[in-house]
């Protein structure tokens, strides 16, 4: 496991395994409607009870550095992502009702 700029990741050593895992996994969730004050730690804390998390990322504007109000959570398993999707969709986080969807493969 490796932490870079607040992102938590598990890296496969084999590039082919890493590529196949990323293409075939439905373990990544899109989280929209985030408060502009929600950071990666808060997002991780909200989702970690549903399973082991590989990566959490809140997307920020490239110039201002301010949150764009959405992010991604990647779990180690599809089962954990399914439970998190069911439990967290339309729930309140930092005063906002969030929208949880499975992330598109090409994003």
Q: Which domains does the chain have, with CATH numbers?
A: 2-102 (3.30.70.330)
Q: Contact, 29 vs 73, CB < 8 A?
A: yes
Residue among 5, 42, 47, 41 at smallest CA distance from 27: 47
**Higher pLDDT among residues 35 and 107, named by residue:** 35
Q: Please tell me the pTM assigned to this model.
A: 0.74
Q: Which pLDDT score, from 0 to 100, does residue 11 have?
A: 53
Q: What percent of the chain has pLDDT over 70?
A: 74
Residue among 29, 23, 20 at smallest CA distance from 50: 29
Looking at residues 47-54, what average pLDDT do you find? 98
For residue 41, pLDDT over 90 is answered with: yes
Helix (H, G, I), strand (E, B) or coil at 86: helix
Spell out the alpha helix ranges (H) of the chain: 15-24, 40-47, 78-88
Q: Contact, 30 vs 75, CB < 8 A?
A: no
């Amino acid at each position: 496991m490796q932490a870079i700029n607040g992102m938590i990741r598990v890296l496969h050593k084999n590039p082919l395994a890493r590529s196949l895992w990323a293409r075939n996994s439905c373990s990544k969730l899109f989280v929209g409607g985030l408060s502009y004050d929600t950071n990666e730690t808060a997002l991780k804390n909200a989702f970690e009870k549903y399973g082991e998390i590989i990566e959490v990322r809140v997307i920020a504007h490239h110039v201002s550095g301010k949150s764009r109000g959405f992010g991604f959570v990647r779990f180690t398993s599809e089962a954990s992502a399914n439970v998190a999707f069911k439990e967290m969709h339309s729930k309140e986080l930092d005063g906002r009702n969030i929208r949880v969807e499975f992330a598109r493969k090409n994003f």
